[in-house]
Amino acid sequence: RSVADGLLDAYDNELRRPSRTVYVLDTSGSMEGDRLKRLKKALTDVSADFRGREEVTLMPFGSAVKDVRGLTMDADPRSGIEDIRADIQALTAEGDTAIYSSLEQAYGQLRGERDMFTSIVLMTDGENTTGSTAAEFEAFYRALSPAQRQIPVFPILFGDSDRSALEHLADLTGGRLFDAQKGSLDGAFEEIRGYQ
């Protein structure tokens, strides 16, 4: 390893403002089979990029949020990455699709803190079918504290998801839509890492 690699690692793991990301992951019944396999592969691949001091939360959902698994990476993030990968492999597909209720729960986990770059990554393969509606989520979002309204949502368009609904979500929250219908799911997660 070169000196430059060592300096880059030190910057990423010690000097750079750490990030806090909640991955809100659609694991509804429509994700069964190949789609869930692709999600697990993409998340496993992107986990190799997690840095020291980074906070990562996995929030899989179907008809409601199924689990909340949070982890802060140590200065040497390897053991944390192994824990996250075990959680990724344990994901299962079942239930309806409660996109907006799950996002409300994600915002409830977060505070907009200036010492960290905080974001929500939403991956869904379908339309909202249960829980809060888009209008209810928008009212919820507008009632958040100014610091929480600084937290962007980065939706990933995948499978049969609704482009216009996800574009509106990105616009509302100051995020950006990533298209894994035309490109790869791996590529979408990697591109989002550039913002973190």
Tell me if 13 is assigned to some domain: no
Number of domain units in the chain: 1
With a threshold of 0.85, does the pTM exceed it?
Answer: yes
Q: Residue 132 has what pLDDT?
A: 98
**pLDDT tens per residue across span 89-120:** 999 999 999 999 999 999 998 876 667 889 99
* Residue 76, pLDDT above cutoff 90: no
Separation of alpha carbons 98 and 28, rounded Å: 9
**pLDDT tens per residue across span 168-180:** 999 999 999 999 9
Tell me if 77 is assigned to some domain: yes
Tell me if 144 is assigned to some domain: yes
In contact, 88 and 116? CB cutoff 8 Å: no
Q: Residue 80 has what pLDDT?
A: 78
Beta bridge partners of 119: 21
| Rounded (10°) angle between helices 34-47 and 185-193 | 30
pLDDT band at 7 (very low <50, low <70, confident <90, very high): very low
**pLDDT tens per residue across span 156-170:** 999 989 999 999 999
Tell me if 60 is assigned to some domain: yes
Q: Residue 101 has what pLDDT?
A: 98
> 3-class DSSP state for residue 55?
strand
Q: Residue 77 has what pLDDT?
A: 66
Residue type for 137, please?
F
* Residue 17, pLDDT above cutoff 70: no
* Residue 6, pLDDT above cutoff 70: no
Tell me if 18 is assigned to some domain: no
pLDDT band at 10 (very low <50, low <70, confident <90, very high): very low
Tell me if 62 is assigned to some domain: yes
Length of the chain: 196
CATH number at residue 175: 3.40.50.410
Tell me if 14 is assigned to some domain: no
Q: In what helix (H) or strand (E) does residue 192 lie, and over which residues does it extend?
A: helix 185-193
Q: In what helix (H) or strand (E) does residue 57 lie, and over which residues does it extend?
A: strand 55-61
Closest of 120, 100, 98 to residue 109, by C-alpha: 120
Domain assignment of residue 138, given as a range: 23-193
Q: Residue 51 has what pLDDT?
A: 80
Tell me if 155 is assigned to some domain: yes
pLDDT band at 130 (very low <50, low <70, confident <90, very high): very high
Q: Report which DSSP code applies to 160.
A: T
Q: How many CB atoms lie within 10 A of CB 39?
A: 27
Edge-to-edge strand order for the sheet containing 69-72? 69-72, 55-61, 19-26, 117-124, 153-157, 178-179
Mean pLDDT score across all residues of the chain: 88
